[in-house]
Amino acid sequence: MSDASLLNSVTALLHREAEYVDERRWDEWLALFDPKAEYWIPAWDSEDEYTRDPQNEVSLMYYGDRTGLEDRVFRLRTGRSAASTPLPRTCHMVANVRATLDADGRCAVKANWVTHLFRNSISQSFYGYYEYLLIPHGSDWCIRKKKIIVLNDLIETVLDIYSV
């Protein structure tokens, strides 16, 4: 696979993921994740360092596999997440995608992101960068790990899967 082809396929996956969240196409979004997918948003430990161990340090969100994401989606769909009712309108912007293929065919990806949210007559934004580990899945990719670094200094509202 050429560098351009790799970058195009990875960028297409990240754009699809953003689209699925913005359009609340939860089943399609979940299908992008491997059943063993780790989903992690570390907390900031100091001004310059975020936590490194989700098992022993504070995280803003951590799911060791896809079942945690499935539970989140269930709660969003059924209204069992009072903090997320009503769901905000969102617009995810993904840019500066960088991809590196390893010898086993896995792909390490970094990308920058901004999410704009509108809910209850208030507009807000979250921003940061993603780190992914993608594994081959047929002719496409599947997300095995997603780490989300939120760079906002102040989080004034609920932070959820649709926020990042």
Residues 9-39 pLDDT 10s: 999 999 999 999 999 999 999 999 999 999 9
pLDDT interval class at 84 (50, 70, 90) = confident
- Pairwise pLDDT comparison (45 vs 153), residue with the higher score: 45
Task: Give which of 114, 123, 118 is closest to 93, Cα–Cα.
Answer: 114
Task: State mean pLDDT over 28-52.
Answer: 96
Provide the pLDDT for residue 81: 81
The CATH T-level fold of domain 3-150 is Nuclear Transport Factor 2; Chain: A, (3.10.450)
Residues 103-117 pLDDT 10s: 999 999 999 999 999
Identify the residue whose tokens are 């896995």: 106
For the chain, domain boundaries:
3-150
Is the pLDDT confidence value at 44 over 90? Answer: yes
Pair 30, 16: CB distance under 8 Å: no
Provide the pLDDT for residue 79: 83
Task: Give which of 132, 117, 125 is closest to 151, Cα–Cα.
Answer: 125
Pair 111, 97: CB distance under 8 Å: yes
The model carries a pTM of 0.95
